[in-house]
Structure 1
Amino acid sequence: MAFASITRELECSICMDIYTDPVNLACGHNFCRVCIDRVLDTQRRLGFFSCPECRTQYTTRPALQRNITLRNIVGNFVPTQPDQKTGVFCTYCVDSSEPAVKFCLHCEASLCDKHLKVHKTSAEHVLTDPTASIEERKCSIHMELLRYFCTEDSACICASCCLIGEHKGHHLESLFKASEKKKIKLRNALQKLMIKKEEVEGRVQNLHESRRRLEEQTAGKKERVSALFGDLRRHLEDLEQRVLSMMSRVAEHFSLAALHMIQQMEIKKEELSTKMGHIEELCNMTDPLTVLQNSGDLCDTDCENKDNREINDQKSELDMAGNFNKVHARGQSRGIFTQDPEDILLDVNTAGNNLHISDDRKTATWSSNQNRPETSQRFLYDPQVLSIQSFLSGRHYWDAVVGGSQWWGIGVCYSSLDRRGEESWIGYNKKSWGLESKRSQCSVIHNSTKLQLPTGITSGKVRIYLDYEAGQISFYDLCDPIRHLYTFSATFTEPLHAALAVGIYGCIKISGHDCET
């Protein structure tokens, strides 16, 4: 009973066998080194480490400490433990059945712990673990112990095999020497495998680190996106409340005005009823003198028409749909700009020779002759330039900062726009739509038809909005709040380019800061 209890205490909880090279974790539990290494290798692939016994968690692979005391106890205990698996007993213990702990290949005898201590220790007496079947270590042909290794055939052979057998004349080595050579090769292979294992562990560690950084970056970006959308929601909610409040105030104002008008019309209705009754009485009279004397100005209805016009004027002020449509349109003008502006780049191959194009392709400035070669794409006489990008679908917008000149023009055009002659100017043909400013007076132009706007640009910055499918080109003054200037409606048939025209000493910059004046 005590022996069985001690045996259980010396068993590894993983392999359920007696400890082999026992090591322990920081939590104090012991395991075979091979067993716990296998468990930790598996846990590393799963991304966590824990004790198999108590489940204590470790952030990194735990260090293994050799348990010298337990190793000595196991070493002293194993020789006295009966070999219950093999049932091999000592050859020399004839009076009792003592379990064998070693087998001598030279003597072909099993040895117990007692006889092992007095056995010869010369090199020829090779000791191995006890075995129940000695036949496994004998030559299947000559039934002699295998003592040599044939290097030519890589086979373990007996003495008869090398003297009279098929291995006669072959190069031979003792099993011990061949085993030592094989161990050297195995150690070299083990060293290479350890290096590869370390490389794999390093890669795994790098992947874990990359995964951790990715998770951290993703979490940070998620927080920023959530904060951005939270801010947008707050702005939208605030805008919604302001619009609803404005609509309520407008509705209340018009409701009171309508009530006042109803009261006026009720009074007017009573007056008309009284007048109609008087006229009916006169119409029913037979005395002509009375009719003529009492009719007065009852036949004059001009004043009634005047009153009707006043009522209609007041009624037009109550056009709630029209006022709310204005609010809706204003909301639309805000909503279209939630996306980022287009990254417009100017095409120097289209720029007239009186324009200097900046290195970043964002700014066009009036200058002296640039002496660029004349091509079919370049504006010959006009200080104009087109964008590299063209748009054949979708919604797009970009900003233009204007300054330095009393005249400038911006807009869009087809790539087939003429580069020479009078019809090459933006807006003065069927292939372009433009906004033009002369001495602070703004006009919109298409097909040479010019419409002057009531006010000019106050902010020095204009936004151009294109909705290709809807066939709309809109211009906005980027003051506070944004002011809608004009919207062209058309059916587009070709790709559209952004177009700029720069006056003397002027400059226009796409999505940039103000130009110096």
Structure 2
Amino acid sequence: MASAKTSCTEDNLLCSICLDVFRNPVSTRCGHNFCRTCITKFWDKKQKYNCPICNHLFQTRPYLQVNTLLSEMAAQCRTSVRVKVQPCVEPAEVPCDVCTGTQLKAVKSCLVCLISYCQTHLEPHQRVAGLKKHRLVEPTDRLEDRMCKKHNQLLELFCMNDQVCVCQICTETDHRFHHAVPLNVEYEVKMAKLGKMEAEVQQMVQERKQKIEEIKDTVKRSKADAAREIAGSVQVLTALMHQIEKCQEDLNQMVKERLKDTEKQAEDLIKELEQEIEDLTNKSSKVKPLSHTEDHFHFLQAFRSLTDPPPTRDWTTVEVRPPSYVGTLRRSLDQLEETLNMEMKKLCDAELKSVQQYEVDVTLDPDTAHPRLILSKDGKLVRDGVVEKEVPGNPKRFTKYIHVLTRQSFSAG
């Protein structure tokens, strides 16, 4: 029994602000006791003077006198009282607004008192009937931002017309003709839009990544096409020996320049796409944390800056066209035609003299002649008629290549 009595006496001698045995205890008109230094420092931070325990508001700052009896009891008990240590506030946590000296971590914030409380100072809100009606939320800093600056009322409604948080008095004055809904209602709507926005951002990121792959693939194919074109030209031109070495060099240079232009265009587009991906990713990094918040006020305040996605280009019609090499070799060869004709004539004359020793009397077969070819009646001459004529169908006839065979054949010489 004596132990229980001592414990009760010790509990009654603890200051609810510093959680230590009273030092120069003073009493407020609402009947609560505090260390004189603790309550003085507490009121020094406030514009209104209220009791930290019951939140009773005093019209003027009370004049405090030390409670002599309570001071003597505290002095006798101070040597035996040891206050249990509670966790102190970390840098990222919300501190208790009532604690003085070492601040403890707040466990709840009151939207009526606009004060954050640690577990000890929250006790009156869990015990006093009037305080039980106060709205408690998870610890939140800057509670004053939740109050209407004009009417000093809680911002608990959302104006659909102006897209801002308002108090009840605002809906009866400045916003009286506007449509207002509770914060939680608009929170659900905006949260749904946020989810859709996040999905759209992710889709835009994927589309741009896909476009990058398409551009890279185009460049890859362009390189392959260029390699094949160069290889083909080298194979043809090297057969012309030293006379066309200069032509080969010029052709390669032109192909490479076209490929370089294509690669430069692709590089610029990829840089632009990567920049848009970075912007969209930054947007997504802001959207994701917001999608998990349950703080209606913070969500709606921050949502306005996330409504519109970053400015991006419409990439649906953007493409990198591979350079065309059609006719490149032909044009190069045309430039050599005049020179080559002379060399070819020399070659033909030489070849003719060479083959004349193997001369054979042959006759052209009209059943194999392409429809454009015109044969002489004796089958010894043939020329290109340019226009295809109607000829009897024959499985031996050339239709793809402008060729004609002879009736006779030989295998050597």
Task: Mark yes or no: TM-score above 0.5.
Answer: no
Task: Please state which structure has a larger fraction of its residues in helix.
Answer: 2
Task: Please state which structure has a larger fraction of its residues in strand.
Answer: 1
| TM-score calculated relative to the size of structure 1 | 0.30
Larger Rg: 1
